[in-house]
């Protein structure tokens, strides 16, 4: 009888362990993309930024610089005076695009907040002087692209497009080993 009671207790403990493992697997299976989709469906874009720990705020109606393609729709913009990041609707198209936007904009934000400021060209080009800063922000995001390898933003080409308008040569040379920047990684 004592053996039977001990066996039942062991089975109950084993069932609790299996239940915990099952719940943990279900919890981990909720990907960041699915979590972001729930926030977007609820119309809580700012909640998504807070949940993922991204600096900045959601502002779909900000006026973007003339060099930003897409008109009113945009990914992200950093305020040149305060370093505050604003995210537009395009950034929320996927988690990888949101994370890529964060990395691109955090480059400029860190420069402003540290007192370095936004790098500008000597003369306005296409109505703006921030092309060097944009190019270097895209380069920074490109070097971290493995964290958001499913992003639809082509950071390499954008960095070079902005830089070509300023310096006349490519900012990032596309070497055979550059694939390493796009390898999926966690950190």
Mean pLDDT of 160-186: 81
Q: What is the three-state SS of the chain?
A: CHHHHHHHHHHHHHHHHHHHHHHHHHHHHCCHHHHHHHHHHCCCHHHHHHHHCCCCEECCCCCCCCCCCCCCCCCEEECCCCCCEEECHHHHHCHHHHHHHHHHHHHHHHHHHCCCCCCCCCCCECCECCHHHHHHHHHHHHHCHHHHCCCCCCHHHHHHHHHHHHHCCCCCCCCHHHHHHHCCCCC
pLDDT at residue 35 greater than cutoff 50? yes
Range scoring the smallest mean pLDDT among 12-16, 89-93, 124-128: 12-16
Q: Hey, where are the domains in the chain?
A: 1-30, 31-182
Mean pLDDT of 58-77: 74
Note the pLDDT of residue 57. Answer: 96
pLDDT at residue 72 greater than cutoff 70? no
Please tell me the pTM assigned to this model.
Answer: 0.78
Q: In Å, how far from its chain's centre is CA 161?
A: 20
| Neighbouring-strand partners of residue 128 | 125
Mean pLDDT of 107-134: 87
pLDDT digits (tens, 9 = 90+) for 94-114: 999 999 999 999 999 999 999
State the average pLDDT for the chain. 83
And the tokens for 150? 């499913």
pLDDT at residue 26 greater than cutoff 50? no
Q: In Å, how far from its chain's centre is CA 101?
A: 4
């Amino acid at each position: 009888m004592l053996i039977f009671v001990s066996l039942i207790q062991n089975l109950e403990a084993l069932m609790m362990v299996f239940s915990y493992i099952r719940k943990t697997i279900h919890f981990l299976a909720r990907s960041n993309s699915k979590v972001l989709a729930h926030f977007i469906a609820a119309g809580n874009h700012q909640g998504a930024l807070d949940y993922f720990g991204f600096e900045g705020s959601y502002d779909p109606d900000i006026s973007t610089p003339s060099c930003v393609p897409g008109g009113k729709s945009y990914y992200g913009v950093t305020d040149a005076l305060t370093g505050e990041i604003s995210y537009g609707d395009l950034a929320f198209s996927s988690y990888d695009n949101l994370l890529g936007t964060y990395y691109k904009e955090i480059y400029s934000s860190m420069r402003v907040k540290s007192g370095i400021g936004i790098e500008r060209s000597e003369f306005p080009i296409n109505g703006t002087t921030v092309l060097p800063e944009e190019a270097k922000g895209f380069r920074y995001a490109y070097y971290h692209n493995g964290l958001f390898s499913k992003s639809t933003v082509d950071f390499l080409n954008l960095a070079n497009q902005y830089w070509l308008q300023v310096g006349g040569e490519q900012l990032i040379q596309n070497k055979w080993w550059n694939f390493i920047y796009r390898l999926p990684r966690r950190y």
